[in-house]
């Protein structure tokens, strides 16, 4: 075992096997294998262009790495790596390269530390997963906007709630636009993370202070798609900011999905009956034959907690570390990877489940004015007639209490009684949901024309984020 370890020369004996297993991260970081291979190929570029290795050695290394990449893509590498005693995926790939090119393989790690190797590989992983997450979030925005446009045409209404109590009538398209707006922020977060991940390349920073070998860092960074080499090696090898930014973006995405899921779960109950889920997004009970459970949305609702926990664990680990590399960072890597993989699985499931929602238009619209949801509009009419806000609030609240006692909705008799009590002439006080919605005037309101404008703006902004971006080069001089 001693000869297989990348750091064995200084020691007279191999480490305790149990402690070596405890320190292994192989099972946690195998997902990084394809990114480590491309990172190693970039290091070959740095060695070749820095004339540290000759062309034949570089070609042999690149060929061996191509073989390993093929094994990873086909799934053979994982099964092989799990049979080894390698400490991590980086050491496993190094060993596999030496299997294919023994002499050249011994030169692959020249001028490179696992510190800069891990930091670079992790950034490549972050960029990849951020782009994937951005694509998923974009699909969610597109679906919500398209659904909102259909429901806007159908004029579907519902009673918006605060504190889960009836508040004011809104268009269902307005609710869907709110969800799209939230997920557009998610798209922007992942977009920024993907950009930041490929800004500065740590490869070539060495263990802590750079290298005395003439590594071609600019060429290696360009090979990997980074804007420039990192500027300060001491910072680069221990920096996990962007990885934490990814986890933060994942957590925020799942919070958005969780909040929408909460309403879907409630709306799917017979007490509401606002939505019905297709069989493809429902499950049953092993005991109760009648059950129709919205399990995907319940699981999405709970997934946010796991993402928040992973982010908290990663940040907590980082908070106790000095600059440079410490083995604690291995645990940070594990939290980031596990949290991201589980989080993206939940986000994919949410995107997959959304099209299976069937909104019950008639029931939603019928209930839109129930619970005295037009009361605020009546109060606004009084304010428009010159009555102070506090007096308007009290006058309408008094009539709501009377209507509630009599078991009826607000009607024209209430408007007459309020006018008599306040000596105000009231014009245009809406008493039904459609009139309430149509009466809204402010930008960003639930009025159909404002909802249509909001949806159009969301489409334009999403399109701008999806268009190719050109990044200016950063100077390192």
pLDDT digits over 181-228, tens only?
999 999 999 999 999 999 999 999 999 999 999 999 999 999 999 999
Contact call for residues 198 and 226 (beta carbons, < 8 A): yes
Contact call for residues 24 and 105 (beta carbons, < 8 A): no
> Is 2-110 a CATH 3.40.190.10 domain?
no
The per-residue pLDDT for 466 is 81
Active site residues: 163, 285
DSSP 8-state class, residue 474 = P
Q: Distances from the Cα of 345 to the Cαs of 239, 307, 348, in angstroms? A: 26, 11, 5
The per-residue pLDDT for 199 is 98
CA 76/CA 9 separation, integer angstroms: 30
Q: Where does residue 465 rank: exposed (0-12), middle (13-18), buried (19+ CB within 10 A)? A: middle
> What is the location of CATH 1.10.40 in the chain?
375-431
Of residues 179, 99, 113, the one with CA closest to residue 145:
179
pTM of this structure: 0.92
The per-residue pLDDT for 1 is 42
Show the low-confidence residues of the chain (pLDDT under 50): 1-3, 469-477
Contact call for residues 368 and 157 (beta carbons, < 8 A): yes
The per-residue pLDDT for 8 is 58
Which CATH number applies to 115-210+228-366+460-466: 3.30.428.10, 1.10.1040.50, 1.20.200.10, 3.90.470.20? 1.20.200.10
> What is the location of CATH 1.10.275.10 in the chain?
2-110
The per-residue pLDDT for 87 is 82
CATH class label, 375-431: mainly alpha
The neighbouring-strand residues paired with 166 are 161
């Amino acid at each position: 075992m001693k000869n297989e370890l990348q750091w064995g020369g200084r020691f007279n004996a191999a480490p305790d096997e149990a402690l070596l297993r405890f320190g292994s991260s192989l099972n946690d970081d195998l997902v990084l294998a394809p990114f480590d291979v491309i990172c190693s190929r970039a290091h070959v570029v740095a060695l070749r262009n820095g004339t540290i290795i000759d062309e034949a050695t570089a070609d042999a290394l690149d060929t061996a790495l191509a073989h390993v990449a093929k094994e990873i893509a086909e799934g053979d590498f994982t099964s092989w790596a799990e049979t080894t005693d390698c400490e991590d995926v980086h050491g496993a790939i190094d060993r596999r390269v030496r299997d294919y090119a023994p002499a050249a393989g011994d030169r692959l790690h020249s001028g490179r530390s696992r510190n800069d190797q891990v930091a670079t590989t992790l950034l490549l992983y972050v960029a990849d997963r951020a782009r994937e997450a951005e694509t998923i979030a974009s699909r969610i925005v597109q679906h919500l906007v398209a659904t909102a446009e259909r429901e806007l045409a159908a004029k579907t209404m519902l009673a918006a709630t605060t504190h889960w109590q009836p508040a004011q009538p809104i268009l269902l398209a307005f609710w869907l636009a709110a969800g799209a707006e939230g997920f557009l922020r998610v798209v922007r977060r992942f977009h920024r993370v993907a950009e930041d991940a490929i800004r500065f390349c740590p490869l070539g920073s060495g263990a802590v202070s750079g290298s005395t070998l003439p590594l071609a860092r600019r060429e290696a960074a360009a090979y990997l798609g980074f804007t420039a080499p990192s500027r300060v090696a001491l910072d680069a090898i221990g920096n996990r900011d962007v990885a934490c930014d990814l986890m933060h973006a994942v957590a925020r995405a799942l919070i958005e999905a969780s909040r929408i899921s909460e309403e879907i779960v409630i709306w799917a109950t017979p007490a509401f009956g606002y939505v019905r889920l297709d069989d493809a997004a429902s499950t049953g009970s092993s005991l109760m034959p009648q059950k129709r459970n919205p399990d995907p949305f319940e699981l999405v609702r709970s997934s946010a907690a796991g993402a928040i926990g992973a982010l908290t664990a990663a940040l907590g680990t980082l908070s106790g570390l000095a600059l440079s590399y410490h083995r604690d960072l291995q645990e940070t890597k594990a939290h980031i990877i596990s949290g991201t993989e589980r989080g993206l699985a939940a986000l994919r499931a949410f995107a997959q489940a959304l099209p299976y929602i069937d909104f019950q238009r008639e029931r939603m619209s019928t209930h839109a004015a129930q619970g005295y949801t037009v009361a605020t509009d009546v109060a606004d009419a009084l304010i428009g007639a010159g009555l102070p806000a506090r007096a308007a609030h009290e006058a309408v609240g008094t009539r709501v209490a009377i209507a509630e006692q009599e078991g009826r909705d607000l009607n024209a008799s209430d408007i007459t009684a309020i006018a008599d009590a306040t000596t105000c002439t009231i014009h245009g006080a809406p008493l039904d949901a459609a009139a309430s919605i149509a009466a809204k005037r402010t930008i960003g309101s639930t009025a159909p024309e404002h909802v249509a404008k909001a949806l159009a703006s969301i489409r334009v902004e999403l399109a701008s984020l999806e268009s190719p971006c050109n990044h200016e080069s950063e100077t390192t001089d």
